[in-house]
Chains A and B, each alone.
Chain A
Amino acid sequence: GAVVSQHPSRVICKSGTSVKIECRSLDFQATTMFWYRQFPKQSLMLMATSNEGSKATYEQGVEKDKFLINHASLTLSTLTVTSAHPEDSSFYICSARSGQGAQSEQYFGPGTRLTVT
């Protein structure tokens, strides 16, 4: 299957700093990428959807000025957590979609563990 990578796999940062997470589709072009967040013992919650070359669409309750998403190419999307706080500590997972329709697949990255101290 298609491969989605994320970098870094884990990051520890101090409160108030910003952190950038990269998501790449390695062997396919992803017109749409999704960012999810997962807190311990909970399911994945969608944060935002981004289409290449356009602004991301954020889910209700997700601050667009705090979680900056850039989808500059068909193989790269970045999520920047600005002015991070301890409550932003979570497991961030990106997903990339190949193709369109129900026959298209949504592939997931390995996740990035963010710890804000």
Chain B
Amino acid sequence: DAKTTQPPSMDCAEGRAANLPCNHSTISGNEYVYWYRQIHSQGPQYIIHGLKNNETNEMASLIITEDRKSSTLILPHATLRDTAVYYCIVRASGSARQLTFGSGTQLTVLP
């Protein structure tokens, strides 16, 4: 599975959009981009995933560049409860392998 690179930490003001970047320059054509988050002392929570089209659900939007070498997770109106470590993970379709977690981005939403 392709490696991902994320900034170690970011701050965001409450009510503002949080834009979390992820680089995956070695991504292959059959690899999906997944986003999970982990609130302190809890298990990871699935947020969203996509292949090449932008995706949106009730939690977030995922913007994938045309060359698929990077993506951005957008939380449109961040709240204090969105403070967590956000993980960007790339995994091949049809893979039976587990999700492999990098170090992620610690997002802190400030009041």
Contacts and interface: CB of A to CB of B under 8 A. Distances in A.
Interface of A: 1, 4, 6, 32, 34, 36, 43-46, 49, 91, 93, 95, 100-103, 105-111, 113
B102 to A, nearest CB: 6
Contact of A95 (B41, B49, B93, B98): B98
B68 to A, nearest CB: 14
Interface in B14-73: 30, 32, 36, 38, 41-46, 49, 51
Interface residues of B, number: 26
Secondary structure at the B interface, as helix, strand, loop or mixed, is loop
Nearest to A31: B96
Contacts of B99: 95, 106
A93 B100 CA distance: 13
A45 B98 CA distance: 11
A27 to B, nearest CB: 15
A102 B51 CA distance: 10
Given A43-B103, A106-B46, A108-B43, 16 more contacts: A1-B46, A43-B101, A43-B104, A44-B101, A46-B100, A93-B44, A100-B94, A100-B96, A102-B30, A102-B51, A102-B94, A102-B95, A108-B44, A108-B45, A108-B46, A111-B43
Interface of B: 30, 32, 36, 38, 41-46, 49, 51, 87, 91-96, 98-104
Contacts of B100: 46
Contacts of A101: 93-95
Contacts of B45: 108
26 contacts: A1-B46, A4-B43, A34-B98, A43-B87, A43-B101, A43-B103, A44-B44, A46-B98, A49-B98, A93-B44, A95-B43, A95-B44, A101-B93, A101-B94, A101-B95, A102-B30, A102-B32, A102-B49, A105-B46, A106-B98, A108-B36, A108-B43, A108-B44, A108-B45, A111-B41, A111-B43
